[in-house]
């Protein structure tokens, strides 16, 4: 049986965020962090499809400042948001060793924050999937060698702290987050945790699933 729960999560920074949990009593669970131009209600049908096709439970959540949240978005709030989502799974007695952190685009920020935090506690997740990820926000526009003060989501500095398999997926013709972001994140991952990357020829930022579906 499959249950879909619509819940509101309270974060440590006082936000109330929307979340959906698709529970099919599966052994594996995916914690999904969405992209910038969407929220969890917009991708709910996709979350259910992901759960069905992979045979996994899926939790998706919206960030503070998105959907029906009343606060403006901030980097610290987003980190508190993903922590609240993780805490919800733990309250549901989900095995932390059987949770995969999956992100799209800017969702790579909270995903790698959480992966690094859990790894530092010797409780890493089962794995991390980064689809069209960013190195950092400033680097979307500029190819900086070092992270500058004020930059947001410095993923390139965090991915090396992940102590679990990391899969990077990126389209070679991404017009929003350049392909080299995915390449550099792959190289910044510790060699023993690098999963073979999935580069998709001709894919852009928002059509990866469509291209893969059409190709079978």
- List 33, 81, 174, 181, catalytic entry: 174
Catalytic (active site) residue 205: yes
Task: Return the bridge partners of 10, or none.
Answer: 16
Catalytic (active site) residue 6: no
Is-contact 177 142, C-beta < 8 A? no
Q: Could you give the C-alpha distances from 190 to 82, 142, 157, 186, in angstroms and in order?
A: 23, 24, 12, 9
Distance CA 113, CA 179 (A): 21
Distance CA 155, CA 165 (A): 16
Q: How far, in whole angstroms, is CA 36 from its chain's centroid?
A: 11
Give one word for 110, left, alpha or beta, with left for phi > 0 and alpha for psi -120 to 50: alpha
Distance CA 171, CA 179 (A): 6
User: Residue 109 belongs to what H/E stretch?
Assistant: helix 108-120
Catalytic (active site) residue 170: no
- List 103, 105, 119, 136, catalytic entry: 105
Strands 16-23 and 57-61: antiparallel
Catalytic residues: 105, 174, 205
């Amino acid at each position: 049986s499959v249950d879909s729960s619509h819940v509101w999560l309270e974060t440590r920074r006082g936000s109330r965020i929307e979340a959906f949990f698709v529970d099919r009593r599966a052994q594996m669970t995916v914690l999904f962090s969405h992209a910038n131009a969407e929220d969890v209600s917009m991708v709910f049908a996709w979350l259910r499809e992901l759960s069905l096709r992979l045979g996994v439970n899926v939790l998706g959540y919206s960030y503070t400042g998105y959907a029906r949240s009343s606060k403006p978005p901030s980097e610290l709030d987003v980190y508190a948001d993903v922590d609240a989502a993780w805490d919800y799974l733990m309250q549901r007695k989900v095995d932390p060793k059987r949770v995969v952190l999956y992100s799209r685009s800017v969702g790579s920020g909270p995903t790698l924050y959480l992966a690094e935090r859990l790894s530092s506690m010797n409780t890493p997740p089962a794995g991390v999937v980064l689809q069209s990820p960013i190195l950092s926000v400033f680097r979307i526009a500029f190819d900086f060698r070092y992270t500058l003060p004020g930059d947001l989501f410095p993923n390139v500095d965090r991915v090396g702290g992940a102590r679990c398999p990391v899969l990077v997926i990126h389209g070679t013709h991404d017009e929003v987050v350049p392909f080299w972001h995915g390449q550099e994140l792959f190289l910044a991952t510790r060699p023993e945790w690098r999963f073979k990357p999935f580069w998709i020829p001709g894919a852009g930022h928002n059509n990866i699933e469509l291209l893969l579906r059409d190709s079978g």
